Chain A
């Protein structure tokens, strides 16, 4: 089992819809969880982080964490074409200790 697994893409949603990106992880000791957005040819950009169970909202983005189910998700409300990118889930702590371990990414396309 991969350490961090993201839902296979690509994911295509119409403009204005909710995009849902999911990530499961194997290390129960993981303590911190991050979502990065990466445009083609660019470096990853941190958009959300969450450390406690539950929801965390920031503008159109909501991160959800369920440590018991080893599951973290990112919801993007009112999706815009500019949200089209690869979304990377990353986690830290546990056996990862100081480093961040990334998933393979999910490509999101928002079509007008």
Chain B
């Protein structure tokens, strides 16, 4: 399978714990996005990378959230001191951008439940 891969698919954690999610993009894609989605809402932008550079981070994103994309390959999203409000589906997407379109393809998502 050469699509976007996310790990784990499900995560249950206790409030106050740290969690880390991983995303492996489609291999030739240079752009990687993280979104968060809650029930009944569209995906909410968190951050995106062009190769290894983090180009934008949502103003709404708490300092408890951090993302990395070392060497422009896979990416990790870490949430520190989780809160119940962090419960959501975390989606990763990737695209290949070369001045043209930006069709982005999503992974299966990681569903986080904070108890």
Contact residues in A for B104 (Cβ distance below 8 Å): 34, 46, 100
Contact residues in B for A36 (Cβ distance below 8 Å): 106
Contact residues in B for A44 (Cβ distance below 8 Å): 43, 91, 106
Q: How far is the CB of B113 from chain A (nearest CB, A)?
A: 14
The yes or no answer to B33 lying at the interface (CB within 8 A) is yes
Please judge, given known A-B contacts A98-B56, A99-B56, A101-B45, whether A43 and B107 are in contact too, CB under 8 Å.
yes
The yes or no answer to B102 lying at the interface (CB within 8 A) is yes
Kindly state the separation between the CA atoms of A16 and B93 in the bound complex, as whole angstroms.
33
Contact residues in B for A102 (Cβ distance below 8 Å): 35, 42-45
Please judge, given known A-B contacts A88-B43, A98-B55, whether A43 and B102 are in contact too, CB under 8 Å.
no
Is the pair A100, B50 in contact by a Cβ cutoff of 8 Å? no
Contact residues in B for A43 (Cβ distance below 8 Å): 89, 91, 106-109
- Chain A, interface residues (CB within 8 Å), range: 20 to 34
- Closest B residue, CB atoms, query A48: B103
Number of B residues with CB within 8 Å of any CB on chain A: 26
Contact residues in B for A105 (Cβ distance below 8 Å): 40-42
Q: Of residues B35, B41, B43, B109, which shows the largest number of chain A Cβ atoms within 10 Å of its Cβ?
A: B43
The yes or no answer to B48 lying at the interface (CB within 8 A) is yes
- Closest A residue, CB atoms, query B49: A98
Is the pair A103, B42 in contact by a Cβ cutoff of 8 Å? yes
Chain A interface (Cβ < 8 Å from any Cβ of B): 4, 32, 34, 36, 42-46, 49, 51, 88, 90, 92-93, 97-105
Write 23 A-B pairs (CB below 8 A) sorted by A numbering: A4-B42, A32-B101, A34-B103, A36-B106, A42-B108, A42-B109, A43-B91, A43-B108, A44-B106, A45-B106, A46-B103, A49-B101, A51-B101, A88-B43, A93-B102, A98-B55, A98-B102, A99-B45, A100-B45, A102-B35, A102-B44, A102-B45, A103-B42
